Structures are given as C-alpha cells and as structure tokens.
C-alpha cells in the first residue's frame, strides 16, 4: 500500500504553521487586553493559550518576552469574565491558600481532607485573611497540594472559589475549577517556603461579594 509521506509531511507542516499563527494572534490579542484592560475575544484567547500553553511560552522566549505574560493573560482574562458571577454567588464560597504562606514556626495540624487547620496565632498573614473570610462569609482552606482541592470539592461542594498561588500553578488551577465562578490572586513572592501574598487584594475580592 502506497503511503504519501510527502503529502502527509506537508499537511503536518501546514498544521504546525497554522497552530503557531493562531497562538501568536491569541498572544497579541491577550497582551492588548491585559495592557489596556479591554477584553477582546476572551473565549478564543483562553482556548488557544491553554491548548498551546507550552508553545506560547516558547514564542515568548523566542521574541525575548517574559514567559509569565502567558499566565498573566490567562489569569487576568479568567478573572474578568468570571467576576460578575463570582460577586453574586452567596453560598459555599471558599478561599484556597497555599501552605507555603504559613509562618516557618507554624504548628497547625494538617487534616487529610481539609488541609492545615490555622490556629490564628497572628504570626503570618493567614490570620488576617481568616478574619476577613469570617466577615464576608468565605471558608478558608490552607492546602498542601492540588489533590486536596478535589477532596474539598467533593465534600464541601463550593459554588465559588478564590485561589492564591504562584505563576506556575494559578492559571492551571483556575482552569481546572472554571466550572464555577473563580478568581485568582498571584503570590507577591513565590517559592516553596515563607511566601508572601497581596492580602489587601485577597480581602478586596471577598469584600466585593458583600452586596
């Protein structure tokens, strides 16, 4: 049986070029939306950049653009298109915080389902977030990893979600829970230990729901 390798090779090259062109267009539109705070074709941009996430970062690297721009675009667009639904969700609202925000001397116990149980000792910013969460009817979970998110969703069934994480995780995590209204806040200082978050921004997101 004759196999037209040359023809198949041409099709493959055309598909690669088409994908690169689409990714480039999505990056340009997303960068414009991110810079101007004006949303254009959010569905196309989100779908394309998630589908070609790694190639998008390679394109940024090739043109000497910071790779985190891809994550910025995904997070910013997701926040924008989900904001209205997030604000108007009244029940079962949760906040997911990474365990790396804990103070180095934290003695909180880690529950196998709910994550770390904060003692509100005041040594880190988490206690401030808990105080605001009590005021605005949010439940806070301090989680060691994404596997805890699945357990919490299964038991608590959140109707909206506010997540805090680093560049490497937030865009992906927001996509995974996008079946409910979600908002994301990037860590100011990332890493795996003693990280820092924009507490005022986290509280502002919760306060917006007090309508």
Task: Give the confidence band of 12 by pLDDT, cuts at 50, 70, 90.
Answer: low
Instruction: Indicate if the pLDDT at residue 202 is higher than 60.
Output: yes
Partners of 43 in the beta sheet? none
Residue found by looking up tokens 């950049």 in the block: 49
| Confidence category of residue 192, pLDDT binned at 50, 70, 90 | confident
Domains in the chain (CATH in brackets) are 68-208 (3.40.50)
Residue 172: pLDDT over 60: yes
Residue 10 has pLDDT above 80, yes or no: no
Phi then psi for residue 92, to 5 deg, are 50, 50
| Per-residue pLDDT at 21 | 80
Instruction: Note the pLDDT tens digit of each residue in 20-77.
Output: 787 788 777 877 777 777 778 888 888 888 888 888 888 888 888 888 889 999 999 9
Taking each helix axis as running N to C, give the angle between helix 5-36 and helix 42-51, from 0 to 180 degrees, rounded to the nearest 10: 130
Q: What is the pLDDT of residue 28?
A: 79
Instruction: List C-alpha distances in Å: 174 to 34, 97, 207.
Output: 17, 13, 20
CA dihedral angle for residue 210, residue 177, residue 175, residue 79, rounded to 10 degrees: 0
Model confidence at 183, in pLDDT bands (50, 70, 90)?
very high
Confidence at 160, pLDDT banded by 50, 70, 90: very high
pTM of the model: 0.85
23/9: higher pLDDT: 23
């Amino acid at each position: 049986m004759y196999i037209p390798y040359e023809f198949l090779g041409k099709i493959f090259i055309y598909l690669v070029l088409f994908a690169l062109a689409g990714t480039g267009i999505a990056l340009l539109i997303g960068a414009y939306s991110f810079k101007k705070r004006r949303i254009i074709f959010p569905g196309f941009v989100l779908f394309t950049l998630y589908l070609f996430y790694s190639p998008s970062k390679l394109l940024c690297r090739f043109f000497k653009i910071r790779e985190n721009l891809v994550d910025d675009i995904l997070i910013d667009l997701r926040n924008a298109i989900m904001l209205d639904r997030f604000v108007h969700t009244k029940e079962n609202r949760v906040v997911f915080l990474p365990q790396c925000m804990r103070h180095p001397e934290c003695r909180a116990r880690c529950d196998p389902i709910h994550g770390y149980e904060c003692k509100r000792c005041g040594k880190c910013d988490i206690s401030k977030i808990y105080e605001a969460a009590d005021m605005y009817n949010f439940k806070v979970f301090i989680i060691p990893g994404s596997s805890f998110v699945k357990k919490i969703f299964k038991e608590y069934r959140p109707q909206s979600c506010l997540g805090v994480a680093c560049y490497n995780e937030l865009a992906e995590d927001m996509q995974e829970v996008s079946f409910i209204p979600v908002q994301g806040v990037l860590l100011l200082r990332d890493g795996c230990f003693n990280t820092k978050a924009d507490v005022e921004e986290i509280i502002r997101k919760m306060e917006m729901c007090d309508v």
